[in-house]
Homo-oligomer: A and B are copies of this chain.
Amino acid sequence: MVARSRKQQEAEVAMNGRHSGRPTLEEVAVRAGVGRGTVSRVINGSPRVSDRAKAAVEAAIAELGYVPNRAARALAGNRTDAIALVIPEPETRLFAEPYFSDIIRGIGAELADTDMQLLLTLIRTPKERARFAQYLAAHRVDGVLLVSVHEDDPLPDLLEQLDMPAVLNGRRSDLESVSYVDADNVGGARAAVAHLLARGRRQIATITGPPDMYVARCRLDGYRQAVQESGAGVDEALVARGDFTEEGGRRAMRELLARRPDIDGVFAASDLMAAGARAVLRESGRRVPQDVALIGFEDSAIARHMDPALTSVRQPTEEMGRTMARVLLEEIAERESVRRHVVLATELVQRDSV
Measured CB to CB, the residues of A under 8 A from B are 3, 22, 65, 67-75, 80, 85, 92-93, 95-98, 100-102, 104-105, 108-109, 112, 117-122, 124, 128, 134-135, 137-140, 275, 301-302, 305-307
Q: What is the chain B residue whose CB lies nearest that of A71?
A: B74
Excluding A71-B72, A96-B301, A109-B124, 5 further A-B contacts by CB distance (< 8 Å) are: A65-B137, A69-B75, A92-B105, A93-B98, A95-B104
Q: Of B75, B105, B121, B122, which is within 8 A of A71 by CB? A: B75
CB distance from A131 to the nearest CB of B (A): 9
Identical subunits present? 2
A-B contact pairs, 21 of them (CB 8 A): A22-B139, A67-B135, A68-B138, A69-B75, A70-B80, A71-B73, A71-B80, A92-B108, A93-B98, A95-B100, A95-B101, A95-B105, A96-B100, A108-B120, A108-B122, A112-B122, A118-B119, A118-B121, A120-B120, A275-B305, A301-B302
Q: What is the chain B residue whose CB lies nearest that of A275?
A: B305
Q: What is the chain B residue whose CB lies nearest that of A74?
A: B71
Residues of B within 8 A of A65 (CB): 137
Q: Of B117, B138, B139, B305, which is within 8 A of A119 by CB? A: B117
With A and B bound together, what is the CA distance between A75 and B71 in angstroms?
5
Residues of B within 8 A of A124 (CB): 108-109, 112
Residues of B within 8 A of A69 (CB): 75, 138
Judge whether A67 and B137 touch: CB under 8 Å: yes
Residues of B within 8 A of A117 (CB): 119
Residues of B within 8 A of A137 (CB): 22, 65, 67
Judge whether A22 and B138 touch: CB under 8 Å: yes
Residues of B within 8 A of A75 (CB): 69, 71-72, 75
CB distance from A206 to the nearest CB of B (A): 22
Residues of B within 8 A of A70 (CB): 74, 80, 138, 140
Known A-B contacts A128-B112, A302-B305; A67 and B138 likewise in contact (beta carbons under 8 Å): yes
